[in-house]
Structure 1
């Protein structure tokens, strides 16, 4: 059984900065990962889910794109990965009653952490024009809203179909098939949108919009300089 979602935003006035840690892994990271996972998923689902992360017959962690080798470890994830998986596989749910209680204005005043910790939607929700609250609708009504909006466009190219870079190959194939059937190829995803700036900068400096190193280079390099990012929070498996 998962614990209840937080009721209030984080009180930033109570945050403190302690002594700098000298390690980012080990037993403290394991304990923290388990605590967060059990809070979100409960003990049984936590064990089943974490043991499948980045495994051959499991699923890819959505936390980062760090590749796995041919030999997989039992715990093939980092602390941040465990947190990301826990929030996706949470047992917490957001029913229609949640939106009846919270107006859109109230949700706008909530921080991202609070919103993410509430759980997963149980019904399609629709915000009517001029409405103050989301309301539950059937799947048929939800699809019809999309159909009506697309049909009202002067050209299919006025639509953009934004999807996740973590979508499975099968789901992505069906998605692009549907979009091309509508008549457009406007199919950005979070990968190329997120890396648009870095790709442009790399093109100007190196002539190619992608990295030119391999994991072997990291293993054998005498010096690695990381600028403009924090591996400890963004991609701790690099450490």
Structure 2
């Protein structure tokens, strides 16, 4: 009975870690201590199973969880691109091909990852950007995200809004990124504050405008 409980405990613990139900949080001493205690108890449970059976259990649980996690991410990736296709009025096949082309550029997209790339495509499609425009704008947004790490959805919305206010075509997205980068380097403001200020200057009714009631 003890062996069975130890076996179930190890499998459940590893499953919750892999699925994200339980997250490793080391931001505080308490969270770090609890994680270490859980890890020690898991090691003890493995020892109770006997090291051979314990290692087989850990290896098998990790393999199954890895496969399940990969399948879940594949479905999430597919759902994001399917939604993007409906928003852009194109086919899912074309959106998948776009995601592949962006990933092949490497550079920022090697850090971005496949799920975040699909999210970016989806966010731009929700701003009424077509496939060609998304392909031109995505590298600039991804590059700035890798440097500054803003919240992706709101940043994509702000970037799209700035380009529309300035009446710039999608082909000039990287040029806008250069302007924002230089401006943030030469000012005492943060990158987000610079972006907000540029939107505020172009739109007198924007809540981001300096001196507006919301500021």
Larger radius of gyration: 2
Higher RCO structure, 1 or 2 (CA under 8 Å, sep 6+): 1
TM-score if structure 1 supplies the norm length?
0.25
